[in-house]
Amino acid sequence: MKKIAVLTSGGDCGGLNAVIKGAALMAKQKGAKCYVIPNGYAGLYNLVDFDSLVELTPERLDKIDLNLAGSEAGHSRVKIRKIEDEKKYDRIKAGLKKFGIEGLVISGGDDSGSVMVDLAAEGIKCVHAPKTMDLDLQSYSVGADSTINRIATFVEDLKTTAYTHNRIFAVEVFGRYAGHTAFRGGVAADADAVLILSLIHISEPTRLRRISYAV
């Protein structure tokens, strides 16, 4: 491959800029050029209408701050399979062909990964850099470390208020299909208890949600 592109999708988190920069640096090492597709899958779908793409040259990469959360590439919540266009995959392929893009590096969570599977099934070459703050995809994912550290920091900051007023504070954190954020964040903050609750009903009988607490 001589040209690849990177896109980020789903929720924003820490580490995404590192994925972008890492993909571009590896491409350069392999003798390939790397471009950024803006605004996730929305940008990929509309790629055929673009006049140009930003190449991630060493000079451009120097401007990317790895310490900032979020993504220089921008995000969208678009799901390709839900676009009402029978020729949507042909449109995407036409956009990639227009710019000579031979493969994609995609960083996203569950939903983004499922779209990548669809793209691969249509013959579009792509790889997934798992990104989910919930840490529910595998043992490591982009964004999880920074999330767990922030949870620990917030719980630590609340301790002084709890001690002062003789209160017990329950801090609800997200975790989707796993309780890693509550467990690891709670342990890091030396919480008195970590409660990982089973699925419970909320608002509508058909909707389920997992709630985790660091106490």
Residue 138 has which token pair?
């595998």
Strand 3-8, strand 33-36: pairing: parallel
Q: Three-class SS of residue 129?
A: strand
Q: Residue 92 and residue 78: Cα distance in Å, rounded?
A: 14
Q: Residue 172 and residue 53: Cα distance in Å, rounded?
A: 41
118 has catalytic annotation: no
Q: Which residue from 105, 78, 107, 104 is spatially nearest to 16, judged by alpha carbons?
A: 107
Hey, which residues does 209 pair with through a beta bridge? 200
Instruction: Tell me the angle at which helices 180-188 and 144-165 cross, rounded to the nearest 10 degrees.
Output: 60
How many other β-carbons are positioned within 10 Å of the β-carbon of residue 83?
A: 15
Of 134, 136, 157, 192, which one is the catalytic site residue? 134
Active-site positions read 134
